Structure 1
């Protein structure tokens, strides 16, 4: 007697995660963790870039207890992976083409075996949402970020080419947010749009007229027990900086601050990351005569990288434009106080109980802020202990479990029976706003014009 398999009664979820892998970087972990969390309650299919094979991803899912019947991976190859040009130069054309190809494949599957919901997870950036809402099922988008601009009063602090690039990016941000029909259509046809920061939430409302739910795009998992730590004042003060070595990350602000510390305050700085600005920044460290105190350790494995946060007495966050920053969360989980610029996504993560904020009102104030914070933290073990303990407590707000609970609630709301297809997209998310397109001339701020002289 042949016994047929009993069809699953669980809802079918399609996850769009161009980047998906548990170990490689923040974007791949965002896609991976959402896929695994979804598969616990829904029959989940993930379309991904194919950078890592579907077989490899299935094996990794099985290793954390997710059977293949609950989580399927479909690789959609993109020509972005083999064009020998830096990604920035082909990003929009290639990534849009990938969305079009992936949507075609997913639509064919949908025609055969209907999905109940589609969620665009990765990439986090808002610029290319595809047209997944055209599947005619509830569409979840985000958390999205990337709306933040580079502060124009810092344009003279970075290399000339990067200064021009950031100025152009600022203008394109404004143009796309206010003028892109593709972005507006995706936002207004979504059941839920998650914004990764308070700034992204505000920008999306102004640009698309859609109220977003604020939810950080990344998290830490698992929450590692962090035994109480004490500041060892018998050795040099240890500072960790982590991120891509690109101009907008603004490491030289920290390097300059270190030169202004009292001569009796000994320090060590570890720079964790790789990127095009490394050579320029190494030369700056040499010019400032602090090269011997700076270690450039590249990108270690994820597990080895986590150890660096426990090594540090402080995590320095200098990025002048970032949706959030995984390093901030890893620092909190390690019980390492943060000294960081107080804007954009970092502003939402840092509190007075776990960090010392640094003003971005001007480059001078930023440098002074880092100097004063390092001096204060290195000389006050009681303050250091309070911030360390506060960091561990703060981490509880940013677990993958908590993030997944928020997204699952949106899934459940979207999957409720509706009287008509129009109810996929609640009117309360929409708002008519007055849109004023910034002029091209506004790109050329006094700071940028001066940097070009």
Structure 2
């Protein structure tokens, strides 16, 4: 009996940022597109693979080295007006990004309309950027429209404003206000939500906001997932190895970790590995000296990703008190390395960490956060067997957070909307 090969469905995806060599939004675009291409005939419209809009040298290099990877990459070149606003975004204020991105998305719509005339697409998917304020315009096509992962709708908690510098204070006060405005009054956001056959959100908080303000149903599908799974744990030694990784800036809140460690009553059975660099590094190193923590802290600086993973692989507990992160890559890397995490009970950490795989810190007061973190660290120092059991639980949870699960969820959405 002759086997009949069914042609793959043609999917049109808008991924403003995409690159196999970078993380963040670039990694979101790359991971979804590359993994979905195993099941669908993917055409992706993109605008950058580098440091600014219009910089696509990384994708040109990739395409030269991999001409037959099965994906049709279509670069939508920003016009002069778009480039002007993007220059203003980089040179004057990031507030201009919305203008440049909106105008570029209009170019994407025009490009998609021309392509639609010659191709039989099954659906169109607005993939990234994931911020809910930027849904693009592909919902105007006569195609089933999928939007997600949608994120960025959560606000910075009010308890943190008193400890912020003036710049971040004003920036996030404005961001909180504009978040509320866009959720309630943005016609573009409402039109996209109403037109969508399916929407999926990056976190449960984003899902709740979309349901409350836009009156839409959506499921949670993270923008990042696990790829490499660790098979065995590293038993905790006499000295518990804590690790913090990220850009050393105000919002990553490494200062809270240092304050918590100062509560450990001069104990010598721990060490903190700090990975990264940033504008607050010198201030925090001075804080470490003032708190008499220097002998217990290793400042690794900015190191290659492979070295980051090597350091995390030898650690015992990941600490992430970030005030403002959705689904940070470093938290998922901790899961890949089999590490329990101590993190604030908000955003992606709330969804990812369970009582069996880490410690979620309640947001009550800044002082309360520091005390809770200190208590969790002390627990790790005093209960090595329980900590090792938690590491085993992390390994068991890895399968639930794997990219295979994420792509299966997206495929289910694709199949549902194309059969309606």
TM surpasses 0.5: yes
User: Is 2:8 the partner of 1:10?
Assistant: yes
1:218-297 residue pairs with structure 2 within 5 A? Answer: 218-221=224-227, 223-233=228-238, 235=239, 237-291=240-294, 293-297=296-300
Give the whole-Å Cα distance in 2 for the aligned partners of 1:344 and 1:358. 12
Structure 2 alignment gaps of length 5 or more: 50-55
The aligned residue for residue 332 of structure 2 is 329
| d(CA) in 1 for partners of 2:177, 2:116 | 38
Structure 1: distance between partners of 2:104 and 2:357: 41
- Structure 1 unpaired stretches of 5+: 1-6, 419-453
CA distance in 2, matches of 1:387, 1:87: 44
Secondary structure class of the residue paired with 1:112: coil
Cα deviation, residue 113, structure 1 = 2.2
Structure 2 length normalisation: TM-score?
0.89
Cα distance between partner residues in 2 of 1:61 and 1:288: 52
> Per the alignment, do residues 198 and 45 of structure 1 end up closer, same or farther by CA in structure 2, a change over 3 Å counting?
same
Q: Does the residue aligned with 1:271 lie in a helix, a strand or coil?
A: strand
C-alpha change, 1:90 and 1:132, in structure 2 (3 Å) is same
2:386 alignment partner, one of 377, 383, 386? 383
Give how far 1:164 is off: 2.1
Match runs of 1:146-225 below 5 Å:
146-221=152-227, 223-225=228-230
Q: Which residue of 1 is the match for residue 403 of structure 2?
A: 400
Provide the alpha-carbon RMSD of the alignment: 2.2
Give 1:266 deviation, angstroms: 4.1
- State the partner residue of 1:347: 350
- For residue 255 of structure 2, give the secondary structure of its aligned residue in structure 1: helix
User: Aligned-pair distance for 1:341?
Assistant: 1.1
| 1:364-405 deviation line (CA, Å, top 9, x unaligned) | 110001111111102211111111101111111111111000
- Which whole-Å CA distance do the structure 2 matches of 1:255 and 1:28 have between them? 32
| TM-superposed deviation, 1:47 | 1.4
Q: Which moved more, 1:112-121 or 1:397-406?
A: 112-121
**For the Cα contact (< 8 Å) 2:16–2:46, is it kept in 1?**
yes
SS in 2 for 1:415: helix
| Distance of aligned partners of 1:60 and 1:253 in 2 relative to their CA distance in 1, 3 Å threshold | farther
Contact 1:226 1:333 in 2 (8 A): no
Find the counterpart in structure 1 of residue 74 from structure 2. Answer: 74
Query: Which residue does the alignment assign to 2:52?
Result: none
SS at match of 1:188: helix
Pair 1:50 & 2:48 matched: yes
Instruction: Determine if contact 1:146/1:322 at 8 Å carries over to the other structure.
Output: no
C-alpha distance in structure 2 between counterparts of 1:280 and 1:125, whole Å: 32
1:395/1:142 CA distance change after superposition, 3 Å? same
Q: Distance in 2 between matches of 1:280 and 1:202?
A: 38
- Partner of residue 29, structure 1: 27
Q: Secondary structure at the residue paired with 2:91?
A: coil
Please say if residues 226 and 334 of structure 1, whose CA atoms lie closer than 8 Å, have aligned partners that are also in contact: no
Moved more, 347-356 or 157-166: 157-166
Cα distance in 1 for residues equivalent to 2:210 and 2:350: 18
Deviation per CA, 1:254-309: give whole Å up to 9, x if none.
11111111212343323333444444434433443434544443443333322232
Alpha-carbon distance between aligned partners in 2 of 1:342 and 1:57, rounded to the nearest angstrom: 39
Contact 1:148 1:322 in 2 (8 A): no
- Which structure has more relative contact order (CA 8 Å, sep 6+)? It is 1
Q: Once the two structures are superposed, what CA deviation does each residue of 1:350-370 show, in whole Å capped at 9, x if it has no partner?
A: 111110221211111100011
CA distance 1:296–1:85, change in 2 (3 Å): farther
Give the length in aligned residue pairs. 403
Asked if the contact 1:57/1:73 (under 8 Å) is kept, the reply is no
Answer yes or no: is the 8 Å Cα contact 1:150–1:248 preserved in 2. Answer: no
Q: Distance in 1 between matches of 2:10 and 2:130?
A: 23
